[in-house]
Amino acid sequence: MATNEIETGANTFESKLGGLTVRGRAHSLSAWFVLALRLMMGYAFLHAGWTKIAAAEPFDAAGYLTHVPAASPATGLFHWMGTTPWFVDFVNVAVPWGEFLIGLGLLVGAFVRLAAFFGAFMMLTFYLGNWSVEHGFINGDFAYMLVFLAVAAFGAGHILGLDSIIEEYEVDGEALIERYPALRYVLG
């Protein structure tokens, strides 16, 4: 007997966007794969950030910013960023510390959606800065951006992470997430 209803419960999900509804059922092993993605991206970013922070020579993004391929749709923006001293100074701090903090947040499972959002944003800027479409529009930077978005969408901070503990922290007898529902956008 065919039905248009999906059984709700564990491992089911549904989303409506622009009049289109998608439904799915995750395999019981999905949580382990989402955890693996979170930890992989966490380690990669923590390591990338730490190697820049601890390097003998200070990190300098000016060369990268001013040598973006001419075909990139953001060449002008990157050139401006690379030739604006205050912005280069900002990027020289934001990239290594951003990578490190994103990685740390993902590894411990704290503020995962916030970390994943900024990780996806960084990957988008790397995608535009490393512009190369000889083999199509999909490359590693684009794929990692989607991994970050998947980690956020699946609430990977709830899987052996601190986000579940943070959400249940009580303020005046009320769970933090209930008292401040907007935190759902940064925790999870």
Q: Where are the chain's structural domains?
A: 29-185
Q: Which of 126, 129, 122 is nearest to 99 (CA)?
A: 122
pLDDT of 62 higher than 90: yes
Give pLDDT tens digits for 132-177: 877 778 888 999 999 999 999 998 999 999 999 998 888 888 888 8
66-86 pLDDT, tens digit per residue, is 999 988 999 999 999 999 999
Mean pLDDT, rounded, of the chain: 89
User: What is the spatial distance between Cα 137 and Cα 36, in angstroms, rounded to a whole number?
Assistant: 26
CB 42 within 8 A of CB 104: yes
Contact yes or no for 111/162 (Cβ under 8 A): no
